[in-house]
Amino acid sequence: MTRFTILGTGSSGNAALLVTENARILIDAGFSCRKLTQLLAACGESIERVDAVFLTHEHGDHCAGVEGLKKFPHLRFFANAATARAVQAGLSHRPDWQIFETGARFVFRDIQVESFAVPHDAQEPVGFRFTTGQDGDLFSPRRSLALFTDLGHAPQNVHECLRDCDVVVVESNHCPELLKADTRRPWSLKQRISGRHGHLSNHATCELLAAVGSPRWRRVYLTHLSRECNSRAAVETAVAPIRSRFASCEFSIVEQGESTPFFDLG
Ligand SMILES: [Zn+2]
Ligand SMILES: [Zn+2]
């Protein structure tokens, strides 16, 4: 049985947990160690039982917990070299880095891991696809989950990756009108957010989902919503046409400060 939960998402922190038969992995650790401990406890898990942390990129909302996690030396940290270097620069200790090459497939316990380069203003940001089991295996059927949370636009390889998944986690970061109307962000930051190396708007995310649309999808999580420049209502409106097109898939909007219950991938 493979299970998945989003512990938290958004600019104040991102972390998700994937549990398979033989592994427990965190995807990003963007909360303090204390907060991560609380979030894991709230879903009946603990950091002691986690085997590894997979990092998408070095931004604080994805890596803030790495320093505090030194209290748990059993943890392995998977990242590409550029991300590891950038994270390491802010640390007082050396984590057990497991360096992978972006684009290369590898196996961690019973999980096949693939990483995909994404356009975002970080050293070498990636999205991941995690796969367990195999096609045709009655006892351990193939299950795939893809996670792409910080990207200015979706290259073709991301389209192909998303098509062949049971669960998709993708950002729906901002509503362009709310971003434009925001008075707290300087123009340069707004440009960065909405640029080709920033974040996907609700519209861009829904265009991506409409273009990729797969009958395999069982659940799509819309995440990394900006607190000030987005709202559940704006995402609901944008996703409505896709929701009706893919009626067998559940669409789950996850706002900042929310965790999701475990989803069983089977
Ligand atoms: Zn980022
Ligand atoms: Zn982020």
State the alpha helices, DSSP H only, in 99-201: 156-163, 176-181, 187-194
Tell me, in angstroms, the distance from the centre of ligand 2 to residue 136's CA: 36
Tell me, in angstroms, the distance from the centre of ligand 1 to residue 60's CA: 8
Residue 139 has a pLDDT of: 84
Ligand nearest to the CA of 57: 1
Residue 136 has a pLDDT of: 86
The residues, ordered by sequence, that sit 6+ positions from 135 with a Cβ below 8 Å of its Cβ are 141, 142
Tell me, in angstroms, the distance from the centre of ligand 1 to residue 104's CA: 22
Local confidence pLDDT in tens for the 266 residues of the chain: 899 999 999 999 999 999 999 999 999 999 999 999 999 999 999 999 999 999 999 999 999 999 999 999 999 999 999 999 999 999 999 999 999 999 999 999 999 999 999 999 999 999 999 999 998 888 889 999 999 999 999 999 999 999 999 999 999 999 999 999 999 999 999 999 999 999 999 999 999 999 999 999 999 999 999 999 999 999 999 999 999 999 899 999 999 999 999 999 98
Residue 14 has a pLDDT of: 98
Ligand nearest to the CA of 125: 1
Tell me, in angstroms, the distance from the centre of ligand 2 to residue 148's CA: 10
Tell me, in angstroms, the distance from the centre of ligand 2 to residue 93's CA: 23
Q: Looking at the whole model, is its pTM more than 0.85?
A: yes
Could you give the strand order of the β-sheet that contains 76-80, starting from the edge strand earlier in sequence? 96-100, 76-80, 52-54, 24-27, 15-19, 3-8, 263-264
Tell me, in angstroms, the distance from the centre of ligand 2 to residue 150's CA: 5
Ligand nearest to the CA of 171: 2
Token pair of 50, please?
């986690």
